[in-house]
Structure 1
Amino acid sequence: MTNLNRRTFVWASLLGATSLTPAGRAIALTGSLQDVGSLAMAAPKATIYTAREIVTLEPTQPSAEAVAVVGGRILWVGSLEETTAILGDQPHDVDTTFADHVIVPGFVAQHDHPVLAALTMSSEILSIEDWVLPSGTVPAVKDKQDFIDRLTAAVAAAPGSGEPVLTWGYHPAFYGSLTRAELDAISTTRPILVWGRSCHEFFLNTATLERCGLTREAYAAFSASAREQSNYEDGHYWEQGMFAILPHIATMVASPERLQAGLELSRDYMHAKGITFGNEPGGILAKPVQDGVNAVFSSPDMPFRWSFMPDGKSMVGMYADDAQVIAETEKLASWYGGMTGMTSKQVKLFADGAIYSQLMQVRDPYLDSHTGEWMMDRDVFERAFRIYWDAGYQIHIHVNGDEGLNRVLDTLETNLRRNPRYDHRTVLVHFAVSGADQVSRIKALGAIVSGNPYYVAALADQYGKVGLGPERADEMVRLGDVSRAGIPWSLHSDMPMAPADPLFLIWCAVNRLTTSGRIAGPDQRVTVEEALRGVTIEAAYSLKLEDEIGTISPGKRANFTILDANPLSVDAMEIRNVGVWGTVMEGRILPAGGAERKASLDLPGESKAERAFMEAALHHALTVAHGPH
């Protein structure tokens, strides 16, 4: 069957039995534009969108000038003349809204965290990078003194006399240590909570400790490991120590109002970046929190759909019976509705620690000889992998270090030999530190990669001096080697670990430019087309949605991102500056910065219930992003 006949058949099939008789379908297969058009009189009204250029990412037809849409699906892609001929007498309009713009497949956010983004983006952001939000740009912190000055100003401007001030983004590897005494110098009466850039540590002033009852006696009651990962005198709590203090500080970090405002901000931010579909691996396991998210994200006026992936670590921890693990996982689908849903037979597991806290497990020692952490003990990880593997699930695994990658690949190989599966698409998520020698093994085992190229831009310079050393830091996220090996790969932001900005991710992967302006690991750069595919069709492929979204092709959802310029044509250094006009989401035209959307969170008002809700929200947000310790 020729490409034209194949596309005609797909188009004709969309019209269904009420529109085409068996004889009509036979005529469609002939590929005659006139005959197909004559059959369309009973078809629903279509819209033909034209543009300066349409980038389809379909190899047989990489560009077009018109795309016909009906019922939220694509009917035809081609020239305006051909598209009009195909529709024939079918009612249709020609929409020239995008005549001066470029249409590309709708951007896919393969891996982001709405709750964590909501809490951090609604705080006082003082971070290592600029954050360009719908409310304006928050500039990066220059150095520690800049941080102290800006935090002091934020505290002085805060409402009331005792309302807590929460800031997020401080990174000790960039600015040095931070102590309780330094925060007390800013205020001894107003609680100050500094949430580290890794989201795995807090720095608290004395007013915070007093407000939440974190006395020396309470600290002494922590587990031995929590005390080891805390410094009461300095007000610094990390990893296990941080989890020990969460029940005390939860209501200061989060509230129903902050969560709602943050979710709305995150929604508008991602829409402004051209996202038409998103996913959170490690979906929420606290029903009240999910209800709060649904109040915003399930709304019919949401500008994109969002899927949630179950957290397999928590599920295997709750249920000793293997069959019950699967049964309870599948029950979670009932938690979603409207514009949210659960991924079909997909699950997230954790290998080693977070890159921002430099706790990934590495084969060669860190420069200061500290050690990484495992997110799941080996026996728990292997049990979880086996359970979901045997149930036919696609497994997405948070893995950051090359030793962590060894554990994942060993487990994958064991299960492939024990219970062979075709097209399992096990996803290696983040893919920070790896060895060139591991790439061929990834290929042989049929795994795929979802990389975060922002690690190079944001961290390579500093991590070359602190922790990893220059060679490992520059070779982070080795997508060039992965691409040359023919391994499918996609890009993700892990928002707020990187901005949920697909064009920026493309820029990072293509240029690998660090904060100092140098190119880190030039051999690991990829082409612009590869990177564009990484936030569209390859991201869809990693979620087993390649038949639904990711390219502009007949039969797929009409999800488009509308740009001011073609990222394939502009200078590579200008990709991050390409403007996003808005999106088309299943046929709905949605300009960026469109009508304000409001949703109310129906959350418990009684103080004890509210406290429990916020503890669950904060615990969830932290664990799904990087895994509990």
Structure 2
Amino acid sequence: MNFGIRHAFPVLLGVAATVMGGASAQTTTLQDIGSHFAEPPSPTVIYTAREFITMDPARPRAEAIAVRDGRFVAVGTRAEVGAAAGEDARLDKTFNDKVVIAGFVEQHVHPVLAALTMNTKVISIEDWDAIDGFSPAVRDEKGYQERLKQALAAHEDKQAPFVTWGYHHYFHGEMSRDMLNELAPNFPVIVWHRSAHEIFLNDAALELTRIDEALVKGLPESAQAQLSLPKGHFFEQGMLAILPKVAPYIASAEQFRKGLEFTETYYHRNGITLACEPGGFVSKPMQDAVNAVYSDDATPFNHCFIGDGKSFFAMKPNDAVSLLAETRKVESWGKGRTWYIPNQVKLFTDGAIYSQLMQMKDGYTDGHHGAWIVDPPAFDFMFQTYWDAGYQIHIHNNGDAGLDVLLASFEKAMARKPRTDHRTVLVHFGFAQPEQVAKWIELGGIVSSNPYYVTALAGRYAKLGIGPERSANMVPNGDVVKNGGSLSFHSDMPMAPAKPMQLVWAAVNRFTAEGPVAGPQHKVSLDVALKAVTIDAAYSIQMEQRVGSIEVGKDANLTVLEQSPYEVAPEKLKDIDVWGTMLEGRVQPVGGKLPRTTSAVQGEAPLKEAPRDAADLDRAVAGRLASLLRHKHDH
């Protein structure tokens, strides 16, 4: 595989790299988190609630807690907490009719892609609370066509392109330039695939972006092989080749800022107190743009990042010294409530589950083939290098054949240089054989799965590409539990909504969008599922000493629910409303459900630190898209 990001779009990325070069950066270590925003000593506050679900096995439930200077100073019965807090403590009954749990930890999200996709007209295979309102799921061709026609008819500014995200050919049928010309003959239309790896353009969009036969003929042969100008279809290398022409119309600076502000609201209203992006992008201007929205003390959550190993490898392939040096450079890019976790890195094996490009042992029922995001020899070089340097390694993997490659590198490293408490993380966990899971856990690996894959894909994949038996074993969380492994959940937003209670619901029930349960043997208990979005999620990124449970000395992070997960039927778990959160002792109500109107982002605090220049940020966003899609980043 060609890893040369800098060779793909040198001018584009070169401009992006200078956009915000003067912006201040601040290194934030794990020890700094929680004390970075320290204020003068504050009074002790005692909070009571209908119930505190602590996620602490030594004391699973509590009647009260005491908070001082952003940390828990007492947890227990009302009498115990009162005695520990002292006579000067103030009693706060805000949570008296609420059920309070340790603050939710979202182990894996992608803020840039989430910001961009939620800005489009979302017509997807699942429900979305998007910027322009609630978008219900559509999972059939007729329904999609009707929704698309309605959206096109409502598009008022005929000079501006219409952009939609969420189309999926496995559900919505064929798409083509001619079809879009017929639907919208007089204005540009860009259809962005649900996987984010493909786009379709009509004649007006091709004219707007100046993509024509002459341009296509000048592209590399590999890119020409992955596009069809007659169909207006550009995918993988074909899409990457024309992306600089298209990206400014997908991702303006205004859209990007608005999208990040929306995700800030979205995460908060779903109870997230700590989010993380493993495989964080290698673009200082883009990081500065994210910092501008997420970094100040008013942000209702903390957000960490983990470096993207394949991007560092691209800068100087097969050079271990350079690989580690480039990895460490980004650790100073955080600012305030955003920071890079030192000594952790994200690697990749096989392709996207949404595109059925994962590497499968028994292939696909329709005869197509999977793909490698990183070729196995390059992957092994990176794995061994980071292993020897003592890094915690997170690995994107979806197929069981991909997992064989990963296990080979893992076993080789352990045999050559044994390590304890390395917490090597298997990320996504689309397909795995029981013996593979047992071996992974025996080697000391842990798992962060996306249980939403079952909801979104298992029913359809049972009929297309995968078959019923393998689809029933998608995301085999039951095998992790059976082998005593550590299990956390993540949404990978926008590959699933960043809603921890929906992830809990998906894992406990394993309902498919079509209705039937897929692989009931892989259901997990509610206890396991709640741990997977709190303490075990924190454990997966080495933050369990600070967050993930309600224990004395930890950061006072809470998620406040309207109902107890233990008092509703399993099928109702995803419908539990989030009242608000507490972040380091600050109570943050959200006012109920996310409004399903354009008011979702109205009334929020404005952008805290405006990016330098809109045109410059447009180029930075375009460069980020190029980087994301060139390396098949997670999706």
TM-score of the two chains, using structure 1 as the length reference: 0.90
For 1:438 and 1:463, locate their aligned partners in 2 and report how far apart those are by CA, in whole Å: 22
| Residues in 2 aligned to 1:610 and 1:550: alpha-carbon distance in whole angstroms | 35
1:297 aligned residue (285, 294, 297)? 294
1:616 to 619, 623, 634: 623
Contact 2:119 / 2:131 at 8 angstroms: preserved in 1?
Answer: no
SS at match of 2:354: coil
Whole-Å Cα distance in 2 between the matches of residues 567 and 611 of structure 1?
Answer: 43
Alpha-carbon distance between aligned partners in 2 of 1:294 and 1:623, rounded to the nearest angstrom: 24
Mapped to 2, the partners of 1:599 and 1:469 lie a distance apart of 47
**Which residue, out of 176, 182, 204, partners 2:201?**
204
Structure 1 match to 2:20? none
What residue is the counterpart of 2:117 in the other structure?
Answer: 120
**1:604/1:301 Cα in 2 relative to 1: closer, same or farther (>3 Å)?**
closer
Task: Name the stretch that deviates more: 312-321 or 425-434.
Answer: 312-321
Which of these residues, 508, 511, 536, is aligned with residue 510 of structure 1? 508
Indicate how the Cα distance of structure 1 residues 193 and 225 shifts in structure 2: closer, same or farther if over 3 A, else same: same
1:190, distance to aligned residue in structure 2 (A): 1.3
Superposition pairs for residues 21-420 of structure 1, below 5 Å? 45-89=43-87, 91-133=88-130, 136-320=133-317, 321-420=319-418
User: Are 2:473 and 1:475 aligned?
Assistant: yes
The 1:601–1:337 alpha-carbon spacing in structure 2 relative to 1, beyond 3 Å, is closer
**TM-fit CA distance, 1:434:** 1.1
Quickly say closer, same or farther: Cα 1:579–1:602, change in 2 above 3 A: closer
* Alpha-carbon distance, 1:614 to partner: 2.8
| CA shift digits 1:182-238 (9 cap, x unpaired) | 111121231111111111111111111111111112112222222222122111111
Q: Find the counterpart in structure 1 of residue 4 from structure 2.
A: none
Could you list the per-position Cα deviations for residues 436-491 of structure 1 after superposition, in whole angstroms to 9, with x for gaps in the alignment?
22121112111111000011111111101111011111110000111011011100
Match of 1:455 in 2: 453
Note the C-alpha offset of 1:305. Answer: 0.3
Verify the 8 A CA contact 1:113 1:625 in the aligned structure 2.
Answer: no
Q: Deviations over 1:351-395 (max 9, x none)?
A: 000000000000001011111000011222111112211111100
Residues 272 and 538 (structure 1), Cα distance of their counterparts in 2 relative to 1, 3 Å cut: same
- SS of equivalent to 1:513: coil
1:38 aligned residue: none
Q: Secondary structure at the match of 1:523?
A: helix
For the residue of structure 1 that corresponds to 2:80, the secondary structure is helix
Listed one character per residue, the Cα deviations across residues 296-325 of structure 1 (whole Å, up to 9, x for unaligned) are 011221000000110010001103532232
Contact 2:399 2:432 in 1 (8 A): yes
Aligned-partner residue type, residue 448 of structure 1: I
State the distance in 1 between where 2:241 and 2:632 align: 18
- What is aligned with 1:597? 605
1:134/1:269 contact within 8 Å kept: no
Aligned residue among 520, 540, 543 for 2:541: 543
1:72-131 Cα offsets, whole Å, 9 max, x none, are 111110011111111234x21111000000010000010000000000011100001111
Q: Which amino acid aligns with 1:151?
A: L
For the structure 1 residues 586 and 625, does the alpha-carbon distance in structure 2 shift closer, same or farther, using more than 3 Å as the test?
farther
- Specify the SS of the correspondent of 1:356: coil
Question: 1:627 Cα deviation (Å)?
Answer: 5.2
Shift of 1:621: 4.4
Q: State the SS of the aligned residue for 1:561.
A: strand
Q: The residue matched to 1:211 in structure 2 has which SS?
A: helix
CA distance in 1: counterparts of 2:283 and 2:109, whole angstroms? 18
Task: List aligned pairs for 1:421-570, cutoff 5 A.
Answer: 421-570=419-568
Alignment deviations for residues 120-175 of structure 1 (CA, whole Å, 9 cap, x no partner):
01110000111135764211125323323322332333342210111000010011
**How far is 1:623 from its partner?**
5.6
Q: Is the 2:222–2:237 contact (alpha carbons within 8 Å) kept by the matching residues of 1?
A: yes
> What stretches of structure 2 of length at least 5 have no aligned partner?
1-33, 35-39, 593-602
Give the conservation status (yes or no) of the 8 Å contact 2:46–2:85: no
The DSSP-based 3-state class of the residue aligned with 1:574 is: helix
SS of the equivalent of 1:422 reads coil
Cα distance, 1:568 vs structure 2: 2.3
Q: RMSD across aligned C-alpha pairs, in angstroms?
A: 1.9
**Contact 1:134 1:265 (8 Å CA) reproduced:** yes
- What is the SS of the residue equivalent to 1:349? strand
Q: Contact conserved, 1:456 with 1:513, CA < 8 A, in 2?
A: yes
Residue type of the alignment partner of 2:68: V
Equivalent pair of 1:116/1:622 in contact (CA under 8 Å):
no
Which structure's relative contact order is higher, taking Cα pairs within 8 Å and 6+ residues apart?
2
Residue pair 2:56, 2:551 contacting (<8 A) in 1 also: yes
* Residues 279-288 or 500-509, more deviating: 279-288
Where 1:465 maps in the other structure, the secondary structure is coil
Q: Please tell me whether residue 626 in structure 1 is matched to residue 627 in structure 2.
A: no
* Deviation of the 1:605 alpha carbon: 3.7
Aligned equivalents of 1:196, 1:601: Cα separation in 2: 32
Q: 1:361 to 1:129 in 2, by over 3 A?
A: same
Q: 1:135 to 1:190 in 2, by over 3 A?
A: closer
2:183 partner SS: coil
SS for the counterpart of 2:64 is strand
In structure 1, what is the Cα distance between the partners aligned to 2:405 and 2:447?
Answer: 16
Rounded Cα–Cα distance in structure 2 between residues aligned with 1:79 and 1:328? 50
Q: Deviations over 1:244-264 (max 9, x none)?
A: 121110101101100011111
Alpha-carbon offset, residue 604 of structure 1? 5.1
Match of 1:547, SS?
A: coil
Contact persistence 2:109–2:491 (CA under 8 A): yes
How many residues are paired up?
587
